[in-house]
Amino acid sequence: MNLERVQQLVYELLQELGEDPEREGLKRTPERVAKAWEFLTRGYRSSPEAVLNQAVFRAPASNMVIVRNIEIFSLCEHHLLPFYGKCHVGYVARNKVLGVSKIARLADVFARRLQIQERLTEEIAGAIMEATDALGVGVVMEAKHLCMMMRGVEKQHSSMVTSSVLGSFRRDSKTREEFLNLIAASGA
């Protein structure tokens, strides 16, 4: 990311908004915004493979593994406004497991890109399925969207829920039900 170019664009945006980018409160804003965008979009400069970094372990496991309440922060690709919430990930292992922190890091790789929640949910599920060759994967995400809260319909208490179920989570209603019951036990 060309930070100097982004700083210049923010400077020009401030001018277009009718502001004076040279006034005391805004003097360093273009630099701060450029650094913030570099951080908020770091998912473009990372990959699932790099994040997993050999953290897929052989284990004689065929049980369900669940990580609940993973905080998600992303930016809506339609308005460049944040959406945030929590993500629950489960998979039925097939002799391979992921290092537990890697599941949250994997979610961040995709969340730290311009996104829609529907695609984000599917990307997380697909990456876990691919990395582990799991029997099945389930991802449920609930998020609040500032593009809906601050503008447009201005609905402050609305949230969006998406799910992606692959393999045994899709084919077997008992597996899917077990996953949903276990994440509900967290107060999700």
The residue from 49, 78, 118, 177 that is catalytic is 78
The residue from 7, 87, 115, 117 that is catalytic is 117
Q: Decide if 7 is catalytic.
A: no
The residue from 19, 142, 147, 178 that is catalytic is 147
- Per DSSP, the three-state class of 27 is coil
The residue from 7, 76, 87, 115 that is catalytic is 76
Question: What CA–CA distance (Å, rounded) separates 87 from 142?
Answer: 7
Q: Which two tokens stand for residue 70?
A: 């993973």
Helix axis angle, 100-111 relative to 117-132, nearest 10°? 140
Q: Decide if 88 is catalytic.
A: no
Q: Decide if 87 is catalytic.
A: no
Q: Decide if 157 is catalytic.
A: no
The residue from 19, 31, 38, 79 that is catalytic is 79
Q: Dihedral of CA 149/154/155/158: which sign? A: negative
The residue from 12, 77, 118, 177 that is catalytic is 77
Q: Decide if 79 is catalytic.
A: yes
Residues annotated as catalytic are 76-79, 117, 145, 147
